[in-house]
Structure 1
Amino acid sequence: MSKSLRLNCDLGESFGAWSMGNDAEMMPLIDCANIACGFHGGDPMVMARTVALAAQHHVWIGAHPSYPDLVGFGRRSMALSPAEVTATVLYQLGALSAFCRQHNTQIRYVKPHGALYHDMLKNDQTFAAVLAAVNHFDSQLPLVMLAHPKPSHWQDMADAAGITLWFEAFADRAYRADGALVPRSQPGAVLASADAMSKQALQIAQEGSVTSVDGTVISLNAHTLCVHGDTPSALAAVRKIRQYLDEHQQATSGGPL
């Protein structure tokens, strides 16, 4: 297992009177918080509280920008031009950065949300537009994307843009044999139990692989491991995963992660 594998979670996705996730309980257990920037979830007060909570627990803050789709929670593709994608992502990075300045912290990476996350892997223009947004804001920030068995195409594009990629694996999502996630519209796309999530997380951490729904074992070189905050069993799963990661790190290096 890579000692640098970091546990991340999507947080700050409540909006107004609508509450989502267990941010206060989740934050002390994770290494990185992907904080919604207002376009799929989160509002100014939620963003401010979530950034403050991350700063309190010394958790790395990641911007979690999306398509402007509050009604669809950012999980619907939108026909934005490349220029619109760049501007939309930049707008959200600027908003989150303001709250980071308020709490004497900073954005450490960028992880697009939902449909934008998947569309940038399917469409080179969309991927280039996201890379451009990161470059314009802060070219030192890594961009998080789905770990893929053959990532060289995206790696080459990121290298040309001067952006570092962090490859991400999911503890709570089912995989297809080609390394893509099973679409949420299909049954079984999201793992239901904490045991199933922790089992998949351990396989990713220990073996650098994940087993697809048809039994194919896929090799993944992941830098970070995600559990979605809106998954019902997320908190129980993260507790199990955090305990394992800490125990493994102490056993191999004599110190905490």
Structure 2
Amino acid sequence: MGTRRIDLNSDLGESLGTWRLGDDEAMLEIVTSANVACGFHAGDSLTLRRTCARSAERGVVVGAQVGYRDLAGFGRRFIDMDPDELTADVIYQVGALDALCRVAGTRVEYVKPHGALYNAVVTHEEQAAAVVAAVVALDAGLPVLGLPGSAFLRIAAAAGLRTVVEAFADRAYTPEGHLVPRGLPGAVLHDAREVAARMVRLVTDGRVTAIDGTEVQVQADSICTHGDSPGAVELARAVRDALTAEGVEMAPFTR
């Protein structure tokens, strides 16, 4: 039997100027943790300030979602960065978002990589270590959120950071327990009822069905629902409602 308490997180604050992405207002009524962009892959200063303020108003925990400096590619393109430069970029992003949080009466409570950086630090030792070094330098009390079995979480744990593992509600899994790359057919799931049933099984039984039909064990302290997917709000609400109906407590992993 898996845990009966779970966090629900989503990527928010990703609008930029007049370009609107997702429905942050609606998502903040559903999730317990917000992975807020930090201006490098998405998010302008006013959007981020408002997102932090609304998160604080609703009691939603704010995490810094750090990424590559890649607005044009939405942070989904790998960049072969010098580790020291990546460490500095992560410090810069978390520091900027934390300032906006503090003005809103809250603070950054965890760090999660975004997009291509999230995928890179699963296996890229140098970049994983660079992100960890940034968190340690800033605040060794900040938890980091990532994929089970990743180099990022292994290096973070060795550095004394609290590591938190997550599962993805709207993404398909490989038989090895990794995410199916977005460019492949079936990588992103859209059926809210199917996704909700998958997450109930994951939380209560620790298993999901992989893209090839095999059963995969997946551990999770938090479930991510992407805020920019079509039907994102309906999907997130379906997941929360289904878990609540099963008696699962929804609460931030930082509390």
* Correspondence for 2:79: 78
Pairwise CA distance, 1:199 = 2.2
The answer to whether the 8 A contact 1:249-1:256 is kept is no
Q: Distance in 1 between matches of 2:88 and 2:29?
A: 33
Q: Which residues in structure 2 correspond to 1:14-163 (within 5 Å)?
A: 14-148=15-149, 155-163=153-161
Structure 2 unaligned segments of length 5 or more: list them.
Answer: none
Shift of 1:203: 1.9
Equivalent residues of 2:37, 2:64 under 8 A apart? yes
Answer yes or no: is the 8 Å Cα contact 1:9–1:32 preserved in 2: yes
Q: Does 1:215 align with 2:216?
A: no
Q: Deviations over 1:86-133 (max 9, x none)?
A: 111111001100101101101111110000001011111111111111
Letter in 2 for 1:68: R
| DSSP-derived class of the 2:247 partner | helix
> How far apart are the structure 2 equivalents of 1:64 and 1:173?
18
Q: Is the 1:193–1:233 contact (alpha carbons within 8 Å) kept by the matching residues of 2?
A: no
Aligned counterpart, 1:249: 247
Flag structure 1 segments of 5+ consecutive residues without an equivalent. none
Equivalent residue number for residue 199 of structure 1: 197
For residues 154 and 45 of structure 1, what CA distance do their matches in structure 2 show? 31
Aligned length: 250
SS in 2 for 1:242: helix
Deviation of the 1:154 alpha carbon: 5.3
Which moves more between the two structures, 239-248 or 17-26?
239-248
User: What one-letter code is carried by the residue in structure 2 that aligns with 1:234?
Assistant: A
Deviation at 1:211, TM superposition (A): 1.2
CA distance in 1, matches of 2:153, 2:101: 29
Q: Which moved more, 1:93-102 or 1:157-166?
A: 157-166
Contact 2:192 2:239 in 1 (8 A): no
Which of structures 1 and 2 has the larger relative contact order (alpha carbons within 8 angstroms, sep 6+)?
2
Compute the displacement of 1:155 (Å): 4.9
How many Å separate the matches in 2 of 1:210 and 1:133? Answer: 33
What is the TM-score with the length of structure 2 in the denominator? Answer: 0.93
SS at match of 1:61: strand
Q: C-alpha distance in 2, partners of 1:48/1:144?
A: 22
Partner of 1:189: 187
Asked if the contact 1:9/1:227 (under 8 Å) is kept, the reply is yes
Q: Which letter maps to 1:3?
A: R
Identity %: 43
Distance 1:142 1:132 in 2: 13
Normalising by structure 1, we get a TM-score of 0.93
Please, which of 236, 239, 242 is the counterpart of residue 238 of structure 1?
236
Aligned to 1:225: 223
| Deviation readout 1:186-220 (Å, 9 max, x if unpaired) | 12111122123212212211211111101121111
Residue type of the alignment partner of 1:222: A
